[in-house]
């Protein structure tokens, strides 16, 4: 039976309460892991770590989800902070940029969700709108604190996301920032009615997509299923390559087998 692909989910650090405890914790809404499980993958949590550890960690994964959360530090795209921009979380920014870079270098599937999509754009040299109501004149993308709202997005025909989610649909959203200048090697894959960029994808990688909305809330299982399917394909390809290397090595040894160790 094929092994289920390992999907790395980035987390953030926050003080949390459970039982009698009130301590710093690696936090992630359970919906992220639940949707990965439902799509046939195994979820692995990736709390912030030293950026130099990213290549080793990502080398053990079959796909990455850059999850939602705090605002990306404006210093990363050369901007001064807007009064409504949240305080920087530099440890998370540095870790997730390193995780993203390692994932793209391996060309394993990557899905950016909300903040994750914004980080993908910044990593590619793009910029962000720091407070979307200043640009669009309304609060429809984030009307209530602590609640997801629904609004329509229209995907772009000819893109990967357009093929998975054709036409116009309602999505779960909660964001006050958005993509401004698009990063290099990225293309717009969906927009809201007010023109806000709602999805992007890489033109240089096999599966590297970002959505401004929250598919983990159960509205877009085809997107998560496509990520897990692409991850399973990557895992199968890596396994076949490893088996081929082992067979070639065996054939090249003097006896056609790996030497037997004698103790």
| Dist. CA 213–CA 198, nearest whole Å | 7
Query: Which two tokens mark 2?
Result: 């094929």
Query: Which two tokens mark 212?
Result: 């401004």
Of residues 96, 198, 201, 216, which has the active-site annotation?
A: 216
> Residues 126, 179: contact at Cβ < 8 Å?
yes
Q: Which of 69, 96, 63 is nearest to 205 (CA)?
A: 63
DSSP 223: H
Of residues 123, 174, 176, 214, which has the active-site annotation?
A: 214
Whether residue 52 lies in the annotated active site? no
Angle in degrees, CA 78, 214, 139, rounded to 5: 65
> Residues 84, 130: contact at Cβ < 8 Å?
yes
Whether residue 114 lies in the annotated active site? yes
| Dist. CA 239–CA 254, nearest whole Å | 25
> Residues 183, 123: contact at Cβ < 8 Å?
yes
Whether residue 214 lies in the annotated active site? yes
Of residues 114, 123, 174, 201, which has the active-site annotation?
A: 114
Regarding beta strands 149-155 and 186-192, do their DSSP bridges make them parallel or antiparallel, or are they unpaired?
antiparallel
Regarding beta strands 6-10 and 63-66, do their DSSP bridges make them parallel or antiparallel, or are they unpaired?
parallel
Query: Which two tokens mark 47?
Result: 């709390």
- Residues designated catalytic: 114, 214, 216
């Amino acid at each position: 039976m094929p092994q289920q692909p390992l999907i790395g989910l980035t987390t953030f650090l926050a003080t949390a309460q459970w039982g009698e405890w009130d301590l710093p914790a690696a936090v992630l809404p359970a919906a992220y892991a639940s949707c990965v499980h439902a799509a046939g993958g195994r979820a692995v949590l990736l709390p912030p770590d030293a950026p130099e550890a990213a290549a080793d960690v990502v080398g053990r994964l079959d796909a990455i989800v850059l999850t939602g959360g705090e605002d990306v530090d404006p210093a990363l795209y050369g901007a001064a902070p807007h009064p409504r921009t949240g305080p920087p979380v530099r440890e998370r920014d540095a870790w997730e940029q390193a995780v993203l870079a390692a994932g793209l270098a391996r060309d394993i599937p990557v899905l950016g969700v909300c903040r994750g999509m914004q980080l993908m754009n910044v990593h590619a040299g793009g910029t962000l709108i720091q407070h979307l109501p200043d640009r669009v004149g309304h609060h429809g993308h984030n009307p209530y604190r602590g609640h997801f709202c629904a609004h329509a997005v229209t995907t772009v025909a000819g893109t990967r996301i357009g093929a998975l989610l054709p036409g116009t649909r309602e999505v779960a959203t909660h964001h006050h920032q958005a993509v401004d200048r698009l990063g290099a090697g990225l293309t717009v894959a969906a927009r809201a009615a007010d023109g806000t960029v709602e999805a992007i994808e890489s033109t240089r990688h096999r599966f590297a997509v970002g959505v401004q909305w929250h598919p983990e809330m159960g509205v877009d299982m085809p997107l998560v299923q496509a990520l897990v399917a692409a991850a399973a394909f990557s895992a199968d390809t890596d396994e076949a390559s490893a088996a081929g290397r082992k067979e070639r090595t065996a054939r090249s040894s003097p006896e056609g087998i790996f030497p037997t160790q004698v103790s």
